[in-house]
Each structure stands twice: as structure tokens, then as C-alpha cells.
């Protein structure tokens, strides 16, 4: 088609049909130009060269010959182009409707599948829960049965052990009863021998007793001398090392207060007139556990000095708190739920002695009475005991026990 017939076409305002009048521009290229113009609103020759559907060398000659131009302006599309665009849009909308309908059907299908899967999963989950519940209940029943069986076996075992222990205690009791009888006979025999010797001293030559045949005098004298010397040497050694035979000593393991133990130890030592060396040996024999471990950690010079090691043991295992701390503790001390009245009173008396070491006894009594009555669990019984104005802690304990007894008798109170 000649250029004179088509005139100059403005690329920025031409319709699709007008663009197709340009040489070498077909339907596909015209649509590409329109699409590019919709995006950029205004085109130039460089924009046309970027279109890949046509060689970029065709545009310059067309511009040079005046076939096309790139003037700015709002072009009015022709009616034919408008109808064509509307038809194309209708086709696009129809295609979209078809696609939407297809997607809706797919969505409905997916929803139905999901509902089926949901019902299936719910049913499976319910079955799993039921199975686990049955399994758990079965295991629980088995565990309960096993536990009851073990308890029964343990009870039977304990019964057997108790019976064996009872029999063992009975046998020991019989054994000790026999030993006690032998000891009593031996003591009686020793007393009779001692009495016989005293009678011989008071009444020589057998005035009050039948005359016994006299054995060989020389032999008896030598034997008596040897026995006396041996006994004297043995007694001397025992006295030097061990001292007189004391009662069975208590042990001290470091878990309780040192002072009560050492007070008893000191009384026994004075009673049997032990030397410091004998006291040291006896003290070492009484130590156990922590106390013995602490003793073994002392210096060798301290371990051989009774007074020094006693002071160190007192410092380590004696009273733990200072007097002013104990006095504060006395202000809010309370009786324990499982603590008896006597135990609570003993604790009060011990704390009062430690908290008021240099205070007269009557003052300590007043403090201990107040702390005891204020700390008792049964406030009603404590008030009754306090109204009697007890002069000592022992009297306060008796008043408290009397009030508790009256409560149990009249009100049915079980515990103070």
C-alpha cells in the first residue's frame, strides 16, 4: 500500500486498524504496539524497536518517509475499534467466567474431599482415644493388682520377720535371764565369802564357825604372797591406766549437744577420782562418727591434753547460738505439733539457761514460765495455767497437764 494513500499515522493516537496500515505491521505487531502504548502512554521510535515481532530496522525509513509520527495527544478510537475491543473484553470475561466456574467446581470437590477426610480423621482419632483409654485402664488394673500383690507379700514377709524378731528377743530374754540368775548367784556367793572373811577377822580361830583342816601353811603363805603381789601389780596397772571400773559410758557422736554428755562424764570422773590421763583415755573411747573425726584432725599435742581437747570439743559441739540470739528466739518460740509438753518445757529450760547464763535462777524461772505458756499450742489450757501464777517451770508444766486433762474429760479435746 502506498504512503500517499494512507497519510501520516500518529503512533500515539492510532487505532489497531490504523496501525495495520503501516507497512510490515500486522495484527500481532499492532496489538503489541497498543499494549506497549497502554503501559507507557506515550511511545517513541526506540519503544517500537524493542518489539520483537518485527525487525527493528524497519522503523527509521518509515519515519524518514513521513509514514508515521510520534506526536503527543489523545486519540479518539474509531467505532469499529471500540466494538472490537468490547468483543475482545467480552471474550475475556466469558473465558474468566468459565475458568471461575471450573475453579468453583474444583473447590466444591476439594471441600467434599476435605469433609470426608475430616470425618475419617475424627473417627480414627476417636478410635485411637478409646483404644488408649482401654489400654491405660488395663495397665492401671494390672498395676493395682501387682501393687496389692506386692503389699500382701510385703506384709507376709514383715509378719515373718516380726515373728522371727519376737522369737529372737524371747531367746535373748531367756538367755539374759539365765545369765542374770548366774550373776545373782555369783554375787550372793561373793557376799557370803566376804561375810565369811569378815567373820574370820572378828572371830579368829573359828569361834563362830566349824574348824576346817589346815592346809600346808608354808605353801599357802607362798601362794597367798604370789596372789597378793600379782593382784597388787594388776590393780596398780589398772589404776594407773584405766582407773576404777565405772558404769557403762554414753557415747558422743557430735549430733547432739556436747554439754549434757560432758556434764555426766565429769560427774563420773569425779566419782571415780580419775586423773587427767584416765579422763583422756575414757573420753576417746566414748567418741564416735563426727566427734571422733574431729578429734583425729586435732594437733597431736592437743590429742594428749585432756583439758585442751575438751575445750576444743566444747567449742565445736557445744551451744551453737550466742545468748542474745537465744533470747530473741525465746520471744516467739512455739510448741511443735508432735512435741509433748515435757519436751517443750525441757527445750525452754535449756534455751533459758543458755540465753541468760549470768542471771539469777528466780529471774530465769520467770522468763522460762512466760516463754513456755506463751508458746503452748493449747491457748485455753495455757491461760488456765497462767491464772494460777506458777512459781516455777515444773509447776507450770503440772498446771498445764492438769488443764489439758480437764479439757479432755469435760470437752473431749484430744490434744493440747
Q: What is the pLDDT of residues 158-178, one digit of tens each?
A: 888 888 877 877 777 777 677
Asked whether the predicted pLDDT for residue 237 surpasses 60, the reply is: no
Q: Per mean pLDDT, which range of 75-89, 268-282, 365-379 is the poorest? A: 75-89
Average pLDDT over residues 398-412: 88
Q: Which residue has the higher pLDDT, 22 or 234?
A: 22
Q: What is the pLDDT of residues 53-79, one digit of tens each?
A: 888 888 989 888 888 898 875 544 555
State the chain's maximal CA–CA distance in angstroms: 188
What is the model's pLDDT at position 109? 92
Q: Where are the domains of the chain?
A: 3-77, 79-210, 258-317, 323-410
What is the model's pLDDT at position 345? 94
What is the model's pLDDT at position 155? 84
Q: Indicate the angle between helix axes 323-331 and 361-375, nearest 10 degrees.
A: 40
Q: Answer for the pair 407, 381: CB distance below 8 angstroms, yes or no.
A: yes
> Would you place residue 119 in the very low, low, confident or very high pLDDT band (cuts 50, 70, 90)?
very high
Query: Distance between CA 267 and CA 190 in Å, rounded?
Result: 29
What is the share, in percent, of the chain residues with pLDDT greater than 90? 31
What is the model's pLDDT at position 219? 44
Average pLDDT over residues 29-46: 88
Asked whether the predicted pLDDT for residue 411 surpasses 80, the reply is: no
Query: Distance between CA 176 and CA 74 in Å, rounded?
Result: 133
DSSP H or E run through 68 = strand 68-69
What is the model's pLDDT at position 201? 52
Query: Distance between CA 384 and CA 95 in Å, rounded?
Result: 104
Q: Is 152 exposed, middle or buried (0-12, 13-18, 19+ CB in 10 A)?
A: exposed
Write out the DSSP string of 340-384.
-HHHHHHHHHHHHHHH-TTS-HHHHHHHHHHHHHHH-S-HHHHHH
Q: How much is the pTM?
A: 0.32
What is the model's pLDDT at position 198? 56
Number of Cβ within a 10 Å radius of residue 344: 21
Q: What is the pLDDT of residues 284-342, one digit of tens each?
A: 999 999 889 989 999 999 999 999 998 888 888 876 667 888 889 899 999 999 999 99
Tell me 204's DSSP state. G
Asked whether the predicted pLDDT for residue 227 surpasses 50, the reply is: no
What is the model's pLDDT at position 222? 47
Mean pLDDT of the chain: 81
Asked whether the predicted pLDDT for residue 118 surpasses 70, the reply is: yes
CA angle 399, 405, 410 (to 5 degrees): 125
Average pLDDT over residues 217-223: 45
Asked whether the predicted pLDDT for residue 385 surpasses 60, the reply is: yes
What is the model's pLDDT at position 225? 45
Close Cβ partners of 160 (under 8 Å, ≥ 6 residues apart): none
Average pLDDT over residues 374-387: 94
Asked whether the predicted pLDDT for residue 265 surpasses 50, the reply is: yes
Asked whether the predicted pLDDT for residue 232 surpasses 50, the reply is: no
Query: Distance between CA 9 and CA 140 in Å, rounded?
Result: 94
Close Cβ partners of 303 (under 8 Å, ≥ 6 residues apart): 295, 296, 309
Cα-Cα-Cα-Cα dihedral of 371, 376, 382, 385, to 10°? -60
Q: Which long-range contacts (CB under 8 A, 24 or more apart) does 339-347 make?
A: 341/376, 341/397, 341/400, 341/401, 341/404, 341/416, 342/397, 344/372, 344/375, 344/376, 345/372, 345/393, 345/394, 345/396, 345/397
Tell me 397's DSSP state. H
> Would you place residue 8 in the very low, low, confident or very high pLDDT band (cuts 50, 70, 90)?
confident
Q: Is 398 exposed, middle or buried (0-12, 13-18, 19+ CB in 10 A)?
A: middle
What is the model's pLDDT at position 196? 64
CATH 1.25.40 fits 3-77, yes or no: no
Q: Indicate the angle between helix axes 276-286 and 258-271, nearest 10 degrees.
A: 140
Asked whether the predicted pLDDT for residue 395 surpasses 70, the reply is: yes
What is the model's pLDDT at position 256? 83
Q: Answer for the pair 33, 41: CB distance below 8 angstroms, yes or no.
A: no
Query: Distance between CA 134 and CA 337 in Å, rounded?
Result: 45
Q: Per mean pLDDT, which range of 7-16, 200-209, 256-265 is the poorest? A: 200-209
Report domain 323-410's class: mainly alpha
Amino acid at each position: 500500500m502506498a504512503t500517499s494513500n494512507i497519510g501520516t499515522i500518529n503512533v500515539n493516537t492510532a487505532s489497531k486498524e490504523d496501525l495495520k496500515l503501516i507497512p510490515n505491521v500486522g495484527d500481532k505487531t499492532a496489538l503489541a504496539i497498543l499494549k506497549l502504548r497502554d503501559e507507557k502512554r506515550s511511545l517513541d521510535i526506540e519503544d517500537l524497536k524493542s518489539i520483537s515481532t518485527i525487525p527493528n530496522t524497519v522503523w527509521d525509513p518509515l519515519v524518514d518517509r513521513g509514514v508515521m509520527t510520534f506526536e503527543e495527544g489523545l486519540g479518539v478510537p474509531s467505532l469499529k475499534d471500540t466494538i472490537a475491543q468490547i468483543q475482545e473484553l467480552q471474550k475475556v470475561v466469558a473465558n474468566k467466567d468459565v475458568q471461575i466456574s471450573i475453579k468453583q467446581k474444583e473447590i466444591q470437590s476439594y471441600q467434599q474431599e476435605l469433609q470426608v477426610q475430616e470425618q475419617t480423621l475424627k473417627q480414627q482419632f476417636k478410635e485411637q482415644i478409646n483404644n488408649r483409654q482401654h489400654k491405660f485402664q488395663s495397665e492401671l488394673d494390672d498395676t493395682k493388682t501387682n501393687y496389692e500383690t506386692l503389699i500382701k507379700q510385703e506384709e507376709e514377709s514383715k509378719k515373718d520377720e516380726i515373728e522371727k524378731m519376737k522369737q529372737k528377743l524371747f531367746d535373748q530374754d531367756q538367755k539374759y535371764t539365765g545369765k542374770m540368775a548366774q550373776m545373782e548367784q555369783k554375787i550372793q556367793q561373793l557376799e557370803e565369802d566376804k561375810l565369811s572373811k569378815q567373820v574370820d577377822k572378828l572371830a579368829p580361830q573359828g569361834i563362830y564357825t566349824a574348824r576346817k583342816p589346815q592346809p600346808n601353811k608354808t605353801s599357802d603363805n607362798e601362794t597367798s604372797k604370789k596372789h597378793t603381789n600379782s593382784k597388787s601389780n594388776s590393780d596398780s596397772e589398772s589404776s594407773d591406766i584405766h582407773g576404777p571400773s565405772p558404769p557403762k559410758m554414753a557415747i558422743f557422736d557430735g549430733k547432739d549437744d556436747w554439754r549434757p554428755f560432758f556434764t555426766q562424764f565429769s560427774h563420773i570422773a569425779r566419782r571415780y577420782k580419775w586423773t587427767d590421763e584416765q579422763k583422756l583415755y575414757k573420753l576417746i573411747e566414748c567418741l564416735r562418727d563426727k566427734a571422733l573425726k574431729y578429734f583425729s584432725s586435732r594437733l597431736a599435742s592437743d590429742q594428749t591434753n585432756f583439758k585442751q581437747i575438751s575445750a576444743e570439743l566444747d567449742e565445736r559441739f557445744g551451744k551453737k547460738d550466742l545468748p542474745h540470739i537465744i533470747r530473741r528466739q525465746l520471744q516467739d518460740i512455739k510448741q511443735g505439733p508432735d512435741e509433748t509438753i515435757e519436751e517443750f518445757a525441757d527445750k525452754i529450760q535449756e534455751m533459758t539457761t543458755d540465753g541468760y547464763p549470768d542471771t539469777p535462777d528466780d529471774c530465769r524461772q520467770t522468763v522460762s514460765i512466760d516463754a513456755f505458756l506463751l508458746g503452748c499450742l493449747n491457748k485455753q489450757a495455757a491461760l488456765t495455767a497462767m491464772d494460777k501464777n506458777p512459781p516455777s517451770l515444773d509447776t507450770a508444766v503440772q498446771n498445764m497437764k492438769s488443764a489439758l486433762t480437764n479439757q479432755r474429760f469435760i470437752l473431749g479435746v484430744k490434744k493440747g
